[in-house]
A = this chain, B = another copy of it.
């Protein structure tokens, strides 16, 4: 039995609109248990309408909520009865707890996870995003937790990303380094040094990747400093949005209804493909339990996906693999 702790508060949507995602996840897997952290009054009316095995659900009543208005570095001390803080404490202390998921404030989730769960050794935790490219899924690591990075840290981001992909079932994950050219002499000094370290790291390192090849890439992990990684994922999001808007405009200007419909259907399919809600969420790697942070605009389906992912990472001992790679 693996228990996943679910922070149902702090997201854009209220907990009662999100909780069904957790129930869908346990209904698919008898080996999975969820610890739901939220105001009990809010989720109970919905839970009573759903059918599920009561032994797989634990409810933790939380009177406080951490929002984007709270200062991340202070929130976890100021709001001890919040779903985020109570949930992380259970995740830390319960021997069955395998991971934690939340759609709350990114800063608060990051800081609270580091303080409450603790880091693996001296590592600087990173945020990693799983994206869908033309050749399948790949991870970008770091996506914004660390904006001024030393070369050694970038290698650690790669190792943590590799541990994650191994836990997802990839035997010998391949790694590329984000730079401004394919040649090893390209890039800022820190990137050029990271390239040399990666060559001698024992990882399955395939060299640099440029922004234009990220979505066409054939590797499993792209490591980068958090500033460039953040720039990549946000530019992908913005470019896709710009093209979707162009297509919607083309659909509105179509000659007839049939043409308009064809274009709108294609836009919808592509939006689903590049939708962060259908993918899992960002992983905070480097803390002592798996932590997944979903988009603030996450829906019930987002929680369903995050819980399933956290379950897989716990079951396949991502943390053990990571400790080995980092030691």
Contacts and interface: CB of A to CB of B under 8 A. Distances in A.
Interface in A99-139: 133-134
Contact of A227 (B228, B236, B246, B262): B228
Interface stretch (A58-66, A263-271, A296-304): A263-271
Interface in A13-32: none
A180 B231 contact: yes
Interface residues of A, number: 49
Nearest to A239: B239
Interface string A259-289: 1001100100110010000000000000000
A152 interface: no
Contacts of A215: 238-239, 241-242
Given A180-B147, A180-B227, A216 B188 contact: no
A321 interface: no
A235 B227 contact: no
User: In the assembly, how many copies of this chain are there?
Assistant: 2
A12 interface: no
Interface string A213-244: 11110000000001110111111111111110
Interface string A135-149: 000000000100110
A245 interface: yes
A211 B237 contact: yes
B230 A180 contact: yes
Contacts of A258: 258-259
B228 A241 contact: no
B262 A247 contact: no
A114 to B, nearest CB: 19
A180 to B, nearest CB: 4
Given A144-B180, A211-B236, A243-B270, 16 more contacts: A133-B242, A134-B245, A180-B227, A210-B238, A211-B230, A211-B231, A211-B238, A212-B238, A216-B242, A231-B232, A235-B236, A235-B239, A246-B270, A246-B273, A250-B269, A263-B266
15 contacts: A133-B242, A147-B180, A147-B186, A147-B187, A211-B237, A212-B237, A212-B238, A231-B232, A239-B239, A239-B240, A243-B243, A246-B270, A258-B259, A262-B263, A263-B263
